[in-house]
């Protein structure tokens, strides 16, 4: 971690931080990381602003008197379209507003509108795993207590957040579903599984996700938000953070499997749980590869959350979507294998605060299914089947 303290009113307060951990990239086209979130926390003595960036990136900051602003430019980055463009931090009158925008096609700019009359100083630094840029702003007149000597450790977004009964209550109250997060697996530097001569999982999942979003928007009043809309890398942790911040009602992660045995085929849908099946654990380990957590660590965390009602609701969602998807495809294609709804220790299902499922929509290791998955019509039918499942689930809640 590196830190610098901003000194107000210096003439050229531009500082560039070089990150030893920044990966060397040899391509001519700059590999863009993604700014996927901006958060702010009001502490009694300061306000912390956190900019979540998909991978270590250089950044530059500056301050201006007129307009009264601090700007932080993240180099070789683009803005994930799901991030709000403006945020008004709660409880800090000395920060009026945060704005996020593309400064140019390869630089994202965070602008902090500050009331300089009330700001004493600020710090800009970065933290790792996941990479994020932190701006702490200290007011001249802290709301309460003495000025903090050192800021407490940042609350790192935690994956395990037992919802404590919220969803069975939602069901009992007949609360509906409004916003659905669709999570196309993998992306950018992470291709997922692939057939060496054929399609990559990351491209198939994005296409199915975009098709599902289009159906949801055309045929329902549900709103759909994608965790990525292009071929970019988004860390697993970030995907559920986004879902939680958008207060989404359902989280649907879309993947395609590859298996050692070429003969294996079919579709399956997972909810978070332990699994006695080595093949499921093997699959989960593969899908979890972009997080640093091992299956062993996962087990401990999963233990804490499997009993809560969110997981029970996730199982319902998995069963409903899996059966709708399999029966929709069976109406149009011969020999569709329904592998069922199952528990599995998938990292991407752990962090969300809403019912969450992961669909494995076929196998890139099976010649038959490769052929089908390469067809846009088949992918449209997968999206259609998932949509039918979502509708059936909402009906089961007594809504829609
Ligand atoms: Zn995958």
CATH number of residue 111's parent domain: 2.60.40.3500
Question: Which domain, by its residues, includes 239?
Answer: 166-396
pLDDT digits (tens, 9 = 90+) for 6-25: 444 433 333 334 333 334 44
Find where tokens 């994005």 sit.
206
CA of 187 to the centre of ligand 1 (A): 10
pLDDT, residue 371, reads: 93
The two three-digit tokens of residue 284, written as one number:
């989960």
Asked if 265 and 185 sit in the same domain, the reply is yes
This prediction's pTM: 0.63
Asked if 243 and 288 sit in the same domain, the reply is yes
In a domain, 241, yes or no: yes
pLDDT digits (tens, 9 = 90+) for 350-399: 878 889 999 999 999 999 999 999 999 999 999 999 999 999 999 888 75
Report whether pLDDT(168) > 50. Answer: no
pLDDT digits (tens, 9 = 90+) for 41-52: 888 888 889 998
CA of 168 to the centre of ligand 1 (A): 29
* Band of pLDDT at residue 155, cut at 50, 70 and 90: very low
pLDDT, residue 23, reads: 41
Report whether pLDDT(174) > 80. Answer: no
Terminal alpha carbon distance of the chain: 49
Four-point Cα dihedral 84, 90, 94, 96, nearest 10:
30
CA of 379 to the centre of ligand 1 (A): 16
- Taking phi over 0 as left and psi of -120 to 50 as alpha, with beta for the rest, 186 belongs to left
Mean pLDDT of the residues in the chain: 80
Four-point Cα dihedral 227, 230, 231, 237, nearest 10:
-10
Is the CB of residue 298 less than 8 Å from the CB of residue 347? yes
Q: Which of 121-130, 181-190, 216-225 has the lowest mean pLDDT?
A: 121-130
Q: Which of 94-103, 158-167, 290-299 has the lowest mean pLDDT?
A: 158-167
Which of 189, 197, 148 shows the shortest CA–CA distance to 370? 197
Asked if 326 and 377 sit in the same domain, the reply is yes
Asked if 41 and 134 sit in the same domain, the reply is yes
Using only C-alpha atoms, the chain has a radius of gyration, in whole angstroms, of 23
In a domain, 285, yes or no: yes
Q: Where are the beta strands (DSSP E) in the chain?
A: 3-6, 15-17, 33-42, 47-53, 59-64, 69-75, 77-79, 86-87, 95-104, 107-114, 119-127, 132-139, 179-184, 223-226, 250-257, 267-272, 338-344, 356-363
Between residues 264 and 164, which one has the greater pLDDT?
A: 264
Look up the CATH number of the domain holding residue 338.
Answer: 3.40.630.40
Say whether 285 sits in a helix, a strand or coil.
Answer: helix
* Band of pLDDT at residue 336, cut at 50, 70 and 90: very high
Find where tokens 């994202």 sit.
108
Say whether 187 sits in a helix, a strand or coil.
Answer: strand
CA of 242 to the centre of ligand 1 (A): 19
Say whether 358 sits in a helix, a strand or coil.
Answer: strand
Between residues 54 and 165, which one has the greater pLDDT?
A: 54
CA of 226 to the centre of ligand 1 (A): 16
Mean pLDDT value across residues 177-206: 89
Asked if 242 and 389 sit in the same domain, the reply is yes
Of 2-16, 128-142, 286-300, the range with the highest mean pLDDT is: 128-142
In a domain, 182, yes or no: yes
Q: What is the enclosing helix (H) or strand (E) of 7?
A: none
CA of 37 to the centre of ligand 1 (A): 23
CA of 239 to the centre of ligand 1 (A): 14
Report whether pLDDT(158) > 90. Answer: no
Say how far apart CA 25 and CA 31 lie, in whole Å: 7
CA of 42 to the centre of ligand 1 (A): 37
Asked if 238 and 287 sit in the same domain, the reply is yes
Q: What is the enclosing helix (H) or strand (E) of 242?
A: helix 236-245
CA of 256 to the centre of ligand 1 (A): 6
In percent, the amount of the chain with pLDDT more than 90 equals 38
Asked if 87 and 196 sit in the same domain, the reply is no
In a domain, 63, yes or no: yes
* Band of pLDDT at residue 132, cut at 50, 70 and 90: confident
Q: Which residues contact 168 (CB under 8 A, 6 or more apart)?
A: 309, 312, 313
Residue 107 burial by CB count (10 A; 0-12/13-18/19+): exposed, middle or buried? buried
Say whether 183 sits in a helix, a strand or coil.
Answer: strand
In a domain, 125, yes or no: yes
In a domain, 46, yes or no: yes
Q: Which residues contact 297 (CB under 8 A, 6 or more apart)?
A: none
End position of a domain, from candidates 121, 139, 157 = 139
Asked if 50 and 112 sit in the same domain, the reply is yes
Asked if 280 and 341 sit in the same domain, the reply is yes
* Band of pLDDT at residue 304, cut at 50, 70 and 90: low
CA of 348 to the centre of ligand 1 (A): 10
End position of a domain, from candidates 123, 139, 155 = 139
Between residues 217 and 2, which one has the greater pLDDT?
A: 217
pLDDT digits (tens, 9 = 90+) for 70-107: 999 998 888 887 777 888 887 668 999 999 999 988 89
CA of 190 to the centre of ligand 1 (A): 9
In a domain, 152, yes or no: no
pLDDT, residue 11, reads: 35
Domain count across the chain: 2
pLDDT, residue 293, reads: 60
CA of 186 to the centre of ligand 1 (A): 6
Asked if 81 and 175 sit in the same domain, the reply is no
Asked if 100 and 190 sit in the same domain, the reply is no
In a domain, 358, yes or no: yes
Asked if 359 and 302 sit in the same domain, the reply is yes
């Amino acid at each position: 971690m590196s830190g610098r303290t901003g000194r107000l009113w210096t003439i050229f307060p531009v500082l560039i931080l070089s990150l030893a951990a920044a990966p060397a990239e040899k391509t001519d086209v700059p590999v863009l990381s993604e700014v996927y979130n901006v958060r702010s926390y009001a502490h009694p003595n300061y306000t912390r602003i956190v900019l979540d960036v998909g991978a270590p990136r250089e950044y530059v900051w500056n301050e201006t008197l007129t307009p009264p602003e601090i700007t932080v430019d993240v180099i070789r980055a683009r803005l994930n379209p799901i991030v709000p463009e403006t945020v008004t931090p709660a409880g800090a009158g000395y920060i009026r507003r945060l704005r996020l925008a593309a400064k140019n096609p390869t630089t994202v700019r965070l602008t902090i509108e500050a009331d300089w009359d009330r700001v004493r100083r600020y710090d800009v630094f970065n933290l790792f795993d996941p990479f994020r840029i932190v701006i702490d702003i200290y007011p001249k007149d802290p709301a309460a207590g003495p000025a903090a000597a050192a800021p407490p450790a940042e609350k790192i977004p935690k994956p395990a957040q037992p919802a404590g009964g919220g969803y069975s209550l939602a069901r009992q109250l007949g609360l509906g579903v409004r916003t659905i997060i669709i999570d196309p697996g993998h992306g950018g530097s992470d291709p997922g599984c692939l057939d060496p001569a054929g399609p990559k999982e990351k491209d198939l999942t994005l296409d199915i996700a975009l098709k599902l979003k289009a159906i949801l928007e055309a045929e329902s009043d549900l709103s759909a938000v994608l965790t990525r809309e292009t071929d970019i890398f988004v860390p697993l942790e970030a995907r559920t953070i986004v879902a939680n911040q958008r207060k989404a009602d359902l989280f649907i992660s879309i993947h395609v499997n590859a298996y050692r045995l070429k003969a294996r085929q079919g579709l399956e849908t997972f909810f978070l749980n332990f699994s006695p099946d080595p093949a499921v654990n093997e699959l989960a380990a593969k899908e979890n590869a972009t997080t640093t957590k091992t299956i062993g660590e996962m087990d401990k965390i999963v233990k804490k959350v499997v009993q809560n009602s969110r997981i029970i609701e996730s199982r319902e969602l998995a069963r409903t979507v899996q059966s709708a998807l399999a029966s929709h495809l069976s109406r149009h294609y011969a020999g569709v294998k329904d592998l069922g709804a199952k528990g599995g220790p998938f990292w991407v299902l752990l962090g969300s605060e809403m019912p969450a499922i992961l669909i494995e929509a076929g196998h890139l290791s099976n010649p038959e299914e490769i052929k089908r998955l390469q067809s846009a019509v088949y992918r449209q039918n997968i999206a259609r089947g998932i949509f039918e499942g979502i509708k059936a689930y909402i009906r089961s809640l007594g809504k829609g």
